[in-house]
């Protein structure tokens, strides 16, 4: 079976590649590598999410499925009062995200780790995610139902999901599960969804 970006320990050589992205008027220089999602460029879905939404104001944030850290680092760069935890299963992605945070001088406000390393009592004002749709519907549902309860009262999750990868059915499913979800934007075949905690 071939390696996937959601493998815990990619088997391909760890050769770093750097690119620069501009998000919310700030430049981010990011190291990527083989075995990590969207190596060498900002993927279309994440670009839509960051373009369609303004940066948040302040608080505790979760970058769910953080990869090499672009969403969480963009928040940490644009929001001086933000603290961000990035979570991923891919060990190489976690190394890259933490290295990218250090290189950007953001390592006091951004840390990437595995889910098991997040304190059990940690709650978040917002969850931002380009979720790993390709892990399958059942695993994705389990992932979301694990993290959405960690939202603070009044908190929200924002996600970008491909229209043809089930965005509309995911929106309905989340609402049916007691997590009211609305569409904030639709662009280039992607939906930006917002899930609110009451």
32 touches 53 (CB < 8 A): no
Would you state the CATH architecture of domain 43-196? 3-Layer(aba) Sandwich (3.40)
Instruction: Provide the residue ranges of all domains of the chain, joining segments of one domain with +.
Output: 43-196
* Dist. CA 192–CA 198, nearest whole Å: 20
Read off φ and ψ for residue 46, nearest 5 degrees: -65, -40
User: What region does 155 belong to: left with phi over 0, alpha with psi -120 to 50, or beta?
Assistant: beta
* Dist. CA 50–CA 52, nearest whole Å: 6
* Dist. CA 124–CA 115, nearest whole Å: 14
CA atoms within 13 A on the CB side of 184: 20
Coil, strand, or helix at residue 17? Answer: strand
pLDDT at 12: 61
**Per-residue pLDDT in tens (0 to 9) along the chain, 198 residues:** 334 444 455 566 678 889 999 999 999 999 888 788 777 778 999 999 999 999 998 999 999 999 999 999 999 999 999 999 999 999 999 999 999 999 999 999 999 999 999 999 999 999 999 998 878 889 999 999 999 999 999 999 999 999 988 899 999 999 999 999 999 999 989 999 999 996
Any bridge partners for residue 22, and if so which?
A: 27
pLDDT at 5: 45
């Amino acid at each position: 079976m071939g390696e996937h970006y959601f493998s815990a320990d990619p088997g391909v050589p760890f050769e770093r590649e750097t690119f620069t992205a501009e998000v919310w008027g700030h430049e981010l220089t990011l190291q990527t590598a083989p075995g990590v999602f969207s190596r060498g460029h900002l993927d279309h879905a994440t670009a839509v999410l960051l373009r369609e939404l303004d940066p948040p104001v302040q608080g505790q944030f979760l970058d769910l499925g953080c990869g090499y850290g672009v969403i969480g680092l963009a928040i940490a760069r644009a929001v001086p009062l933000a603290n961000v935890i990035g979570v991923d299963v891919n060990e190489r992605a976690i190394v890259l995200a933490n290295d990218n945070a250090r290189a950007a001088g953001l390592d006091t406000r951004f840390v990437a780790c595995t889910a098991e390393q997040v304190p059990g009592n940690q709650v978040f004002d917002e969850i931002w995610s380009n979720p790993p749709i390709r892990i399958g519907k059942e695993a994705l549902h389990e992932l979301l139902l694990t993290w959405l309860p960690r939202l603070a009262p009044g908190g929200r999750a924002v996600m970008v999901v491909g229209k043809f990868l089930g965005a509309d059915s995911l929106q309905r499913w989340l609402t049916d599960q007691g997590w009211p979800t609305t569409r904030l934007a639709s662009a280039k075949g992607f939906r930006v969804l917002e899930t609110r905690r009451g």
